[in-house]
Structure 1
Amino acid sequence: MAFRLHEGRLLRDDRPFTALGVTYFPVRAGCRLWVDWDPDVVAADLRRIAEAGLNTVRVFVFWRDFHPDPRHVDGQALTRLRLLVELAEAAGLSCVLSVLTLFMNGQLLDLPWRRGRSLWRDPQMLAAQETFVRAVAATIADRTNVLALDLGDEISNVDPAEAATLTPAEVARWYGRLVGAVRQAAPEVLVCQANNALTVLGGSAFGPASGRALDLLAVHGFPLWSPGHIESTLSPKATQLPAFLARLAGAHGVALVDELGTYGADDEVAAAYLRAAVASVLVSGAAGVIVWCWQDTTSTAEPYDRRPAERVVGLHRADGTPKPVMTAYRQLVDAAPALVRTTEPAGVAVWPVAGQLAGGGSYLDPHRDAVSPFFAYLLLKRLHVEVDVVVTPAAGHQLVVCPSVDQVTLEDLAHLRAALHRGATVYYSLGDHLHGFPGAELVGAEIVDYDLTGRDRQEVVWDGEVWPVDWTVARAVPTTLRATSGQVLAAYPDGTPAVVVNAVGAGRLVFTNVPFERQLDAAGRFTLAPWERFYRRIAELAGVRPAVRCSDPEVEVVPVDGGVALINHRDRAVTVRVGRDGDDPDADLVVDLTEKGWTVARLPMTSNTATLNTATSTAVSSA
């Protein structure tokens, strides 16, 4: 057995392994690689990928090319697949094989015999999937370089309307059925299923929460197609999104970012994006990152005939020359061993309290929020505190952040009370006043009424500091609070409570009836004010301080095995001062970071100011 999971880490031959790879299409054949098969071209390409320092290649197994007749799987196609895996092994590459591939670059490369039947509910289609997946697994079962089989890349896009009607239980059963088929033929092969950002954030049931049967939870990080308002490829939001998705998936298992890249940007922007995004993913603790994609293609066949721009998003041009983005990736690959996050649990947790839909889709169902946990993560990152994203809070979490909650269940309330009674400080912002309010007993205040005008509720005042509120952006109903057992910390201009703290057990609940995180989701709004100072006040109440201080909130700070990783998410070069909390500020390290640059540094122990210059972003430095 080559690959296995142990204590949340991916191992190969019992050693820690970080997948660093690319998605591969041959230049001329493109998505027709199995039909226009040329093993000499494939072998040469795989050698080049390995020579670039990469260790993993991701390949699409187009279902229609392997299963043209529902009665049998094509033996010649399976032979070609096995040969590709063998060629990858000879080059020193592991493989992620995306089976059941029907959706590609925005269109269906469909089975001629499916005729619109459901992948998830039609008995014949379910049986056909088992047959195909089992055949692929049997073909590669004895190969030790297969990292994982992917059960259908962004499979919900085959029929988004139907996928939206599937319950988490139905998706979990589908996963379990196909994982069982793989296990019958290849018991030791890992299984994943990859989804885009909207799905990972709760756009359908094909999210991490349904993937208990899977070994790896694969996510895609493209800022252009993500929910919320990410202003540009070089926005700090953009380069932190993939790592957040990995953290969110990692709350349910082991995360793999198996698509990351840029569209609609020039070569320099693409390189800058990749520098910061990949560095952030690696320090997030993900099992690896697979970049889209190795090389531009000259193919004119589908799907490129309808979407020719898809032909020019490679790390290399069609003639084989590297683009700036490949140079940036190679630097990250070379330094990846230094970008391993320490395994110490964080003292702060983002808990996306998602509730559970009743399934009726009625007017009583609350708004389903996809972006508030991401904004909570961004705000905490700006404070430079270490953050976990969790399914439920754990005993070690000193501060638990529940952002813009739209629905809370009795089970959620039980977890909330348990965290409070353990002594945690829980921050809870209200998304939906009917379904998300956790009750006056916990809040220390009651809702008097709602008021659609929101008059005199356009800002929150806390000890003289003011934060504006946009109820339209928040898509929420303003409410009036009346304090009961709680202490009012902040108020609206009309004097009614905006933030209340209430002692519960050994802990305390800090509550606001503003969907504080969701009201930040408008283009340009996140930069209008130092919003993280609102979170800093809550962190201070909880006694949370960053272990490492940094002078720029847009520089991500993460402890790693080699020291501290510093990742500049700004679109310009910065100079920052970095030091341990409690140390003499005169001993701070002065670090120059390029646009979207990064470094790993060891903080000085002396009182002498040290300076670290990072003209490139590959240095591992000490004072």
Structure 2
Amino acid sequence: MPPAVRFGVNYTPSEGWFHHWLDFDLDSVRADLDSIAALGLDHIRVFPLWPYFQPDRTLIRPRAVEQLVALADAAAERGLDVNVDGLQGHLSSFDFLPAWTRTWHRRNLFTDPDVVSGEIAYLRTLAAALADRPNFIGMTIGNEVNQFAAGPHPDPDRITAREAGTWLTRLLAACAEAAPGRLHLHASYDAAWYQDDQPFTPAHSARLGDLTAVHSWVFDGTAQRHGRGAPQTEQHAAYLVELSKAWADDAHRPVWLQEVGAPAPLIPAEHAAAFTEATLTAVLDCPDLWGVTWWCSHDVSRGLADFPELEYGLGLLTNDRKPKDLAHVLAAARSRAAAQRSTALVVPADPARRSRCAPGGPVFDAWFRLAADGARPTTVLDTRADDPEHLAARGITEVVTPDQVLPTPPGEIRS
């Protein structure tokens, strides 16, 4: 664990969005990084677009890799560490997959031997190029790659949970071989925690890689159901962090809140700073938090078309690099010691029942009932709820089930 919680931002270039790799302008990047560093943040998460870097399975463009290294070096000059996402993959509602995986060349991203060998070569190349940079944190395999494996994606590459685990293990090993001693991980959107038929499971997130990544977006039904200022909305990130711990084998596995943002109109612009402050206050009370990385650095230019409306205004800074009120809130955030959480809510270990943990499910509702009562809850798998060694390692002294926490509806007899 680092000596203090890390605070950073997902880097969205102010000029050209992620298409800036096509017309890479290091001076523009430096100006962006200056505006990020001025907030006092300590790291960025960077997104090469996969088709731009590897347009053919056996062509990883050297110039693109050089530009990535130049960006990392510019970040180092400004005191910023860098995490790099490899397989982009999916960003802001758009898919970016190489032509050699689609249409006439349609092959499964996770199981086709040639595709997987190409992915491994790509990740190794990026990791090796940065391995000697002191400010290189490590690789994230890709951004929310689990969305390609199941609905609601319109054309998923369907796999089993076993195949997902095999794929993750191989790609993480490739990153570790190319850049040993760094932190390498993978990242899923919250379907991994909430969707019963999602092949990327909570166990994958909490046991594979060097850290657990959670992405907290309250447009998943939370804000729609509870409203912008409700505890369920403002503490959704903290809930996901604590939910992840049920599946971890390491009692103190670090958890990275790798994406969290204030999406309008569910979080109106005038309420974004308050939402940011409440989110940070709640999540900084979670033990074993590695870091918080806000989405995102700069707004998307209104000159770019077809983004969902909420994507244009998610930046800490405007498109002309001016900080917003929520940027000042993040800049003022400070690490603090969080006491171990002693009350654990039981969650189902069976991934086919993980929807009970989703917004509106009994685990979700019970966790927030406990939080409202001041219990500072965490979670434990039903298969570990009677394991004294596991509970002691995590400092858990009380275990409760959702049925014990939630009120019994009128007329219902609870067994």
- TM-score, normalization: structure 1? 0.58
SS in 2 for 1:193: coil
- Counterpart of 1:207 (choices 201, 206, 213) is 201
Whether 2:59 is the aligned partner of 1:60: answer: no
Residues 166-222 of structure 1, C-alpha deviation per residue, up to 9 Å, x if partnerless?
333222211110011112211112112222223223442323311323111111111
What's 1:340 paired with?
A: 337
One-letter code aligned to 1:283: D
Among 85, 89, 99, which residue is 1:98 paired with? 85
Alpha-carbon shift at residue 29 of structure 1 (Å)? 1.6
1:223 corresponding residue in structure 2: 218
Which residue is 1:196 aligned to? Answer: 189
CA displacement at 1:26 relative to structure 2? 1.8
SS of match in other structure, 1:130: helix
Q: Following TM superposition, by how much is the alpha carbon of 1:229 offset from its aligned partner in structure 2, in angstroms?
A: 5.6
Distance 1:299 1:143 in 2: 35
Provide the aligned C-alpha RMSD in A: 2.4
Following superposition, the deviation at residue 104 of structure 1 comes to: 1.3
SS across alignment from 1:280: helix
Tell me, in whole angstroms, the C-alpha distance in 1 between the residues paired with 2:162 and 2:402. 25
**Structure 2 partner of 1:50:** 37
Question: Is contact 2:127–2:138 with CA below 8 Å preserved after alignment?
Answer: no
Are 1:296 and 2:295 matched, yes or no? no
The equivalent residue for 1:167 is: 160
Match of 1:132 among 122, 134, 138: 122
- Distance verdict in 2 for CA 1:17–1:84, change over 3 Å: farther
Using CA pairs under 8 Å that are at least 6 residues apart, name the structure with larger relative contact order, 1 or 2: 2
TM alignment of 1:313-462, pairs within 5 A: 313-332=314-333, 336-337=334-335, 339-342=336-339, 344=340, 346-355=341-350, 357=352, 368-371=355-358, 372-391=362-381, 392-393=384-385, 394-395=391-392, 397-403=396-402, 427=404
Q: Which amino acid aligns with 2:130?
A: I
| Deviation of 1:75 (Å) | 0.5
**Does 2:12 align with 1:25?**
yes
Is the 2:345–2:400 Cα contact (8 Å) retained in structure 1? yes
1:228 is displaced (CA, Å) by 8.8
* CA displacement 1:572-617 (0-9 Å, x = unmatched): xxxxxxxxxxxxxxxxxxxxxxxxxxxxxxxxxxxxxxxxxxxxxx
For the 8 Å contact 1:230–1:237, the answer to whether it is kept is: no
Alpha-carbon deviation of 1:309? 4.5
Structure 2 counterpart of 1:157? 147
Q: Which residue of 1 aligns with 2:388?
A: none
Match of 2:229 in 1: 234
Distance 1:199 1:165 in 2: 14
Q: Using the TM superposition, give the Cα deviation of residue 34 of structure 1 relative to its aligned residue in structure 2, in angstroms.
A: 1.4
Following superposition, the deviation at residue 402 of structure 1 comes to 2.8
User: Is 1:109 matched up with 2:109?
Assistant: no
CA distance in 2, matches of 1:222, 1:88: 27
Deviation at 1:100, TM superposition (A): 0.3
Aligned residues of 2:212 and 2:254 also touching (Cα < 8 A):
yes
Structure 2 unaligned blocks of 5 or more: 386-390
Deviates more, 1:387-396 or 1:59-68: 387-396
Contact 2:202 2:351 in 1 (8 A): no
How many residue pairs align between the two structures?
387
User: Hey, which of these two has a bigger chunk of helix by percent?
Assistant: 2
Which residue of structure 2 aligns with residue 244 of structure 1?
239
Separation in 2 of the partners of 1:428 and 1:262? Answer: 30
Classify 1:368/1:260 alpha carbon distance in 2 versus 1 (closer, same or farther; 3 Å).
closer
Q: How does 1:456-535 map onto structure 2 within 5 Å?
A: 468-469=409-410, 492=411, 498=413, 512-513=414-415
Percent of matched pairs sharing the same residue: 27
Compute the displacement of 1:113 (Å): 1.6
CA 1:299–1:66: 2 relative to 1, 3 Å: farther
1:143 to 124, 133, 136: 133
Alignment-derived partner of residue 261 in structure 1: 261
Separation of aligned partners in 1, 2:157 and 2:344:
29
SS at match of 1:397: coil
Per-residue deviation at 1:428?
Answer: 8.8
More strand by percentage: 1
Q: Deviations over 1:123-161 (max 9, x none)?
A: 111111101111111111111212231111111223424
- Matched letter for residue 99 of structure 2: P
Q: Helix, strand or coil: the match of 1:349?
A: strand
Cα distance in structure 2, aligned partners of 1:226 and 1:192: 27
Match of 1:87 in 2: 74
